[in-house]
Structure 1
Amino acid sequence: MIWLPLLAAGPALAAATSGWRGVVGVGLLAGFVGALTGIRDGVPGRELTVILAALVTVTGASALASALRGRRERVLAAVRSVAETAQHALLAPVPGTVGPFQVAVHYSAAAAEARIGGDLYALIPTPHGVRLIVGDVRGKGLPAVGTAALVLGVFREAAHDEPDLLDVVSRIERSLARNLGHDDFVTAVVAGYPGSGRLEVVNCGHAPPLLVRGREVTPLEPARPAPPLGLRALSGETPDLHSLTFTDGDRLLLYTDGVTEARDAGREFYPLAEGLARHLYDEPDRTVAALHEELLHHVGGRLHDDAALLLLRKPAAVADGADAAQEGEAPLAGAARLPDAGAGAGRGFDGIGDGLEDSESAA
């Protein structure tokens, strides 16, 4: 009499993991064991009947709950399938090679079960060369995703239509001015490679990209700060287009503030420039994977903000014997440790080295 009522826990627990048929099977087994045990131990018929009736009731309720749970899971699976299709359409997978570049991308959305958030990226070949954008939308959740979709849609159209990279940025600005609220904005870096070893960069209030030349990592600080996209009308400032050489072996890392503002238990930010210097592999995907793994270790396993990494590498036309011998081995030894990407603001492109040239006028 003391232990027989506990048999009802069987079908109740089975409802959490099994279908309704499994629940009924467990209920029948529990009823058989209860009846056999009650008869063997001389439990009065009235009490045994009450126990078995309660067991039947729990089994029926658990089977119904299991059937409803299965139905909800099927609906959720369909919704997830649609959401994944939409997310792939918004943030289309980037191939390993685009134009003359090797490319690697890693994106982590802070929202559970989500693959996209307020960060955005795109890299596409156009008649005007390879063009790309990495940005961060103010805010989180579905409104941020909607703004990211708007920016990516305008960028993909303008990148094909506009020969001038500044005109691409202007079209995005006009679209956001029509569709965003007064306190909404998007920080972004828009870059283009028209060819001939030249890289064009337009920074609209975003974290400076990191240029890797040889073993040196240098943040590309803009010579004149520009407002984020969507705020040009308030400030009256327009971004500048900067041009620099981008030759064989050079790398460019673009990222969002979810990477550089990730904190460890001691509230220390992740030093991205030093991390990149430690993981200079020939394969961009290995570098990005190592950076992401180190970033997760830094924060203790889970990011609390969207984070995007996009790495370009222009491979050498002909690799020499030394490069071939190092292929797939440890990262380059002696990689320089440099200040964080936020250090040295206002230096412009003067400290980057011989490969960088003066900024070009927007006109």
Structure 2
Amino acid sequence: MTVERPDAPVSGSAMLSWLPVGAMAVVAVADVVAGPGVGFLPLVSLGPAFSGLVGGWRRTALIGVAALLFCVGLGVYDGLFEERRGFTAMASVVGVTGAGIVAAVMRSRKEAELASVRSIAEVAQRVLLRPVPRTAGPFRAVVSYTSAVAEARIGGDLYEVVASPYGVRVIMGDVQGKGLAAVETAAVVLGAFREAAYDEPDLPGVSERLERSVARELEGEKFVTAVLAEFGPGEEVVFLNHGHPAPMIVHEDGGVAFPEPEAFALPLGLGGHGGERPAPYRVDFVPGDQLLLYTDGVTEARDPGGSFYPLADRRTLLMTPDADHALEALREDLVRYAEGPLHDDAAMLLLRYHGHTEGKPGALG
């Protein structure tokens, strides 16, 4: 499983780390140039003030000592200790340094608590989204999961591959919302699917089991979009779509199709609001074909100009003989296209027959 988490820009972090020193240097130069009559000296306390916002308590204390030395040196240079102004400036530096140390300690504790919560949530999500089997029946399966920005890294995208007595069954879904609540809902859906996929003789039966499980879990207008796929003994795949983006089938000759149902059904969790139940539909799937299931974080990714990711045009990236390399190439292209962190998690699941061979990329057009 591939997980991408954008880090903070290095240049921005370096700039913030040097901000306290730069502030004190600017104040020192301004004080020397303007002379003692202007009263720049107390502004030396900006150094420890900024350090308390961006650094740890030790660094804040060190910056505070440096600011105090600056204050004493400039005070002697300006002759301010012959009156109260020099001592007032020193008291200002000491007071701001103390406040900065307290702020740095409190911020560090909050950051440690937040990091712990995120770490636990991410571990829970990794356990939930366990690696799919590399082989299932006659198929090779590869999965990719690309996280969005740090504030939304815990999402509700879900996927699973089950080799059942009735064929290989697959789910790709997306829970409405983010955070631990979405992960909890995804756990319910995956738990129900893993059990129903092995027990139920057909996809509508699996769908009914999922609908009942989600209805018990979700409240209000929350929902889960999902697409189910079943590969039986013949060279075809059966789909059942609950309001999810249409799967993409890439043929050996480079042709691409997005098979859709005759009528779209409501997502899981909204079945009680009426509407048609999803009907299964069949599509040919022969050796040499590839199936890509994905969440809307893929097709709704935009470039800086606002254009959506052209998934169909990127089908040539999947023609690499190695399935892992093919899906990784598609993931990397998606991230490059967005030119920055994705705004939503993007999960992709690629299935192809064992011994899959592709035509020449040049034949794709």
**Normalised by the shorter chain, which TM-score bucket?**
0.7 to 0.9
TM alignment of 1:246-257, pairs within 5 A: 246-257=285-296
What amino acid is aligned across from residue 98 of structure 2 in structure 1?
G
How far the C-alpha of 1:251 sits from its partner, in A, is 0.8
Aligned match of 1:341: none
Aligned match of 1:13: 50
Retained in 1: the 8 A contact 2:246–2:259?
Answer: yes
Aligned match of 1:346: none
Aligned match of 2:319: 280
Aligned match of 2:101: 63
What amino acid is aligned across from residue 53 of structure 2 in structure 1?
A
Aligned match of 2:361: 332
Determine the C-alpha separation between the residues in 1 that align with 2:158 and 2:319: 24
Question: Relative to structure 1, is the Cα distance of residues 233 and 44 closer, same or farther in structure 2, using a 3 angstrom cutoff?
Answer: closer
Retained in 2: the 8 A contact 1:133–1:189?
Answer: yes
How far the C-alpha of 1:225 sits from its partner, in A, is 4.5
Retained in 2: the 8 A contact 1:108–1:116?
Answer: no
How far the C-alpha of 1:270 sits from its partner, in A, is 3.1
Question: Relative to structure 1, is the Cα distance of residues 34 and 229 closer, same or farther in structure 2, using a 3 angstrom cutoff?
Answer: closer
Determine the C-alpha separation between the residues in 1 that align with 2:314 and 2:93: 61
Aligned match of 1:237: 276
What amino acid is aligned across from residue 166 of structure 1 in structure 2?
P
Alignment length (residue pairs):
326
Percent of pairs with identical residues: 47
TM alignment of 1:28-107, pairs within 5 A: 28-45=65-82, 46-94=84-132, 96-107=134-145
Question: Relative to structure 1, is the Cα distance of residues 233 and 27 closer, same or farther in structure 2, using a 3 angstrom cutoff?
Answer: closer
How far the C-alpha of 1:50 sits from its partner, in A, is 1.7
- Is 1:209 the counterpart of 2:241 in the alignment? no
What amino acid is aligned across from residue 39 of structure 1 in structure 2?
V
How high is the TM-score relative to the length of structure 1? Answer: 0.75
RMSD value, Cα:
3.2
How far the C-alpha of 1:164 sits from its partner, in A, is 3.0
Question: Relative to structure 1, is the Cα distance of residues 116 and 250 closer, same or farther in structure 2, using a 3 angstrom cutoff?
Answer: farther
Give the counterpart of 1:114 among 152, 156, 159: 152
Structure 2, gaps ≥5 residues long: 1-35
1 or 2, which has the higher helix percentage? 2
Partner deviation per Cα, 1:285-320 (whole Å, 9 max, x = no partner): 333333334444544534334433221122317x7x
Determine the C-alpha separation between the residues in 2 that align with 1:18 and 1:110: 26
- Is 1:199 the counterpart of 2:237 in the alignment? yes
TM alignment of 1:302-321, pairs within 5 A: 302-316=341-355
Question: Relative to structure 1, is the Cα distance of residues 37 and 301 closer, same or farther in structure 2, using a 3 angstrom cutoff?
Answer: closer
Question: Relative to structure 1, is the Cα distance of residues 167 and 70 closer, same or farther in structure 2, using a 3 angstrom cutoff?
Answer: same
Structure 1, gaps ≥5 residues long: 337-363
Determine the C-alpha separation between the residues in 1 that align with 2:113 and 2:267: 40
